Amino acid sequence: MSILHITSSANPGASTSKMLGEEVLTAIGGSVTHRDTNTGIPPVDGDWIAANFTPADGRSDAQAEKLALSDTLIEEIRAADTLVISAPVYNFGIPSTLKAWIDQICRAGETFRYSETGPEGLLKGKRAILVLASGGMPVGSEFDFASTYLRQVMGFIGITDVEVIAADRIMEEGDEAVADARRAIAAL
């Protein structure tokens, strides 16, 4: 099995989401490609959008270069059977660096297409495991915009087999929150 592990914590040395993500990798086994969203994923800008909406055979060298990282990120997903996305919950949502990764990989004609019935994901047959860590917000609550957003994005690109492993309310539950996540990892 090939796995793409996406990490996004701004504090990788003491990241609960990254630590638990590594435990997921051990539990499910396989060859792993790592992608840290904190290293070199720029936000989408006007030049990126112009390049993206230019047909591939009509792109200038500069436009092709503008999309090169996006192409690489999409190829990493295509090559993987399973995505493990490790993310802390910051202010009810995901880190901005993970959002930048999402903006780079959601591309019409590459990871989704529009049809008469609406958008259709093109990356079907894959699995995603979302590993979330939250200081106070319960994952699955009405204030949880992280897991709901990530599930929506995964479905949008065609990945509908999505599991959530949560170590939530760490500031209140402490070690028990991590133990709960570990029990869920053991059940994978």
Per-residue pLDDT tens digits of the chain, which is 188 residues long: 999 999 999 997 899 999 999 999 999 999 999 999 999 999 999 999 999 999 999 999 999 999 999 999 999 999 999 999 999 999 999 999 999 999 999 999 999 999 999 999 999 999 999 999 999 989 999 999 999 999 999 999 999 999 999 999 999 988 999 999 999 999 99
The first and second tokens of residue 137, run together, are 């917000």
Strand partners, 56: none
* CATH architecture, domain 2-186: 3-Layer(aba) Sandwich (3.40)
Task: Please give the DSSP secondary-structure letter assigned to residue 90.
Answer: B
What pTM, to 2 d.p., does this model score?
Answer: 0.96
Residue 79 near residue 33, CB atoms below 8 Å: yes
Would you state the structure tokens that stand for residue 94, as one six-digit string? 């995901």
What is the β-pairing status of strands 112-115 and 82-88? unpaired
Closest CA relative to residue 123, chosen from 89, 78, 87, 162: 78
| Residue entry with tokens 């996540």 | 181
Q: Provide the H-helix boundaries in the chain.
A: 16-28, 46-52, 61-66, 68-79, 96-105, 146-156, 170-173, 175-186
**How many whole angstroms separate alpha carbon 1 and alpha carbon 8?**
23
For the chain, give every domain's residue range: 2-186
140: three-class secondary structure by DSSP: coil
CA distance 61 to 99: 26
